[in-house]
Amino acid sequence: MIEKKALEFWVGLFVLAGILALVMLAFKVGNLTSADVSDAYTVEARFENIGGLKVKSPVTMAGVRIGRVTSVSFDREKYQAVVELSIDGRYKNIPDDSSVSILTSGLLGEQYIGINAGGSEDYLKGGDKILLTQSALVLENLIGQVMVKLTSGSDSK
């Protein structure tokens, strides 16, 4: 009887450890872990179209992730998307005339923010606004433009 109880205890403990491992893996894969930036500062960028950009999307510079998107909102007066970027405090030397683009990893991958360094000797600090932005390329719009050009080209012949 005691052996059966001990066996049930160890099996239960093993199952619990497995469930805990799966939960941790789900959080890691879903980027739901706590903020992984230290001493972060926040900057703002405005876009005409953000495509499928989401909160927690990566912010990169030269291909290295330096932060995350912390919020996405809509400005009703200027009809623009307002994106807040949280940048790791280790990267305090980003020129304030840098440009920001919404890029896509792969052909149909997730969207992220890419920062291209400017040439200014002044650096971004918390609360700054990045003025040079490039909106997301929306695949449907590009296909529509190609279709219009193809049909208008065939009509002129």
Mean pLDDT by 10 residues, the chain (157 residues): 86 92 82 62 94 92 94 95 94 94 84 94 93 84 85 65
Task: Tell me the whole-structure pTM to 2 decimals.
Answer: 0.69
Q: What's the CA gap between 105 and 113, in Å, rounded?
A: 10
pLDDT of the residue at 34 = 47
pLDDT of the residue at 78 = 93
**Residue 41, token pair as written in the block:** 């500062």
pLDDT of the residue at 62 = 93
pLDDT of the residue at 95 = 95
Chain length of the chain:
157
Amino acid occupying residue 1 = M
pLDDT of the residue at 154 = 61
Q: What is the DSSP string of 55-117?
A: TT-EEEETTEEEEEEEEEEEETTTTEEEEEEEE-TT----BTT-EEEEEESTTT--EEEEEE-
